[in-house]
Chain A
Amino acid sequence: MDCKDIREKFSAYIDDVLSTQEKMVIDEHLKSCPECAEALADLKKTVEHVKGIETVEPPVWMKQKIMAKVRAEAQPRKGLFQRLFYPLHIKLPVGAIATIAIALTTLYIFRTIEPGIKLAKAPTEEVAPQISQKGQQPALRGAEDKGVTPPVLPLSKGRSEEGLSLEESKGGFSGKAAPAPERPAAQPSISKEMDMKADKLAPSTVQEARKKEVHVPAPAKTFEQAPATGALAKGEARQEPTAAGPGAKLSYMEKKKEEPLILTVFVKDPEAAGKEIEKTLKELEGKVVQVESSDGKKVVSAVLKTSRLHKLSEKLKVIGEIKEKELDVKEQERDVRVRIELTKNP
């Protein structure tokens, strides 16, 4: 074994991992070879230098940093679906609460704006006839000018004789009406919608009715249509704001009931009669809403209890000649609007 082979085993010799025989061979060689002995000594010193280097302390933050990373790693990663959506046990209650909140908010908003909607509706119901009447009047006049006689719509005589009824004031045609050639007649206090229909169907009849209303004596059965309706519409439009308070709560059908009872009374002196009626209304605990005077005609609008209507009728009979024979009010006690038109006796 030459020096090169011996020196290759020096590392193992130092670590004492050689067999006893190999170790003996090296020991023998070292006795006779000072160069190899020096080489072994240098190698031993080298190893001692390496073993002698100090150990270094790791950074104090290293453990915390490692554990932070490990803990982050240990947390179960949520899938895309889980990250986008909450689990069902959270999502369901949240969804239910949200639904209830939306429903309550909707209800609140609806209740808040409900009166506004009804107020907005009311004028359209009442203004529409005015507009259509305005549009139709020239046509009627034109028909008269041309001497054309439009088909006549007979009025319900019997119906008028029955007097004004609140039931009737709801509008619509009644089977009780006297048979007519074309169709049942409209009631005196028929709704404005029906007035419009009547206007369309029998303009001449309406014209006649208007004339009769002013000139024909009480017994004559007149059809108070366009003028009265027109005035009524205006009156209603004016009164609407006052009715907006409690009236705003009324339904649409109830509003239709609010159309006033129209009583036409022929008197000698409308002015004096008007004052007397105002006094009477006060006595009957009624409330005079409006008093109008025009062309020798006086119109007193008031609000009165239904139970006092009969007394009012009696009083009107004393003051003048009432067109309607009897007020047949069978409804339960409530306030009703009354429009008393005082016309000078012809």
Chain B
Amino acid sequence: MGIIAMVRKGDVDAFEKLVGKYQKMLFNIAYRMVDSYEDAGEVVQDAFLSAYRNLHAFKGMSRFSTWLCSIVINLSKNRLQQMKTAQQHEQYSLDDPIEADDGPIAREVPSGEATVVEELEKEETRKKVQDCIGRLESEFREVIVLRDIQGFSYEEIGGMLNIADGTVKSRLFRARDALKECLKKVLGKL
């Protein structure tokens, strides 16, 4: 009997095995999505609880990990929306884009530290990459996370996000292109 079937029959210990197996992957997805360690933890908890409650809805048409990822992605997007709403009620950030007639202009001026960035440690680079990922819209962020960080296939991503493969391709291109531009700004040189 599979673990999923055991959980369905009320075996909570079997579900604990699933948590142990997938918690790291789900946490990393959530962390890259919400860009907050604490919020990522809460998202993953909610995701597992939601999975336990809705296990009957899992028909086995996809991999269980894919199903779990889709839950985490959805919860992460919800969390992002909440955070965005909360930020609107707080004082504006210096990094917020400036609204202009021809569209928003990034407040952050490209620094002339590009040559210094090369000397930064990998940790600093990763941080900037994460910052750039965090600046993407959630629909682009999710495909970057799922494809480049988690390595899911286009088909799997399409299944998780309930979009066509072509849409995955185009979103991924836009996401990478935006990320490239961002990294060029923060790193100066790729």
Which A residues fall within an 8 A CB radius of B?
Answer: 7-12, 15, 17, 41-43, 45-47, 49-59, 62-63, 65-67, 69-71, 73-74
Contacts and interface: CB of A to CB of B under 8 A. Distances in A.
Contacts of A66: 19, 23, 44-45, 48-49
Main secondary structure of the interface of A (DSSP, over half): helix
B126 A74 contact: no
5 contacts: A15-B147, A52-B126, A53-B126, A63-B19, A66-B48
Interface in B153-190: 154, 169-170, 172-173, 176-177, 179-180, 183-184, 190
Contacts of A41: 190
A7 B129 CA distance: 22
Given A45-B190, A50-B149, A63 B183 contact: no
Contacts of B37: 56, 59
Name which of A9, A58, A65 has the most chain B CB atoms within 10 A of its CB: A58
B12 A49 contact: no
Interface of B: 10, 12, 15-16, 19-20, 23-24, 27-28, 31-32, 37, 40-41, 44-45, 48-49, 52-53, 122, 125-126, 129-130, 133, 144, 147-149, 154, 169-170, 172-173, 176-177, 179-180, 183-184, 190
A74 B176 contact: no
B15 A70 contact: yes
Contact of A62 (B41, B52, B172, B176): B41
Contacts of B173: 8-12
A11 B173 CA distance: 5
Nearest to B171: A11
- Of the listed residues A11, A12, A56, A57, the one surrounded by the most CB atoms of chain B closer than 10 A to its CB is A11
Given A65-B45, A67-B19, A70-B48, A53 B129 contact: yes
A45 B179 CA distance: 11
A47 B53 contact: no
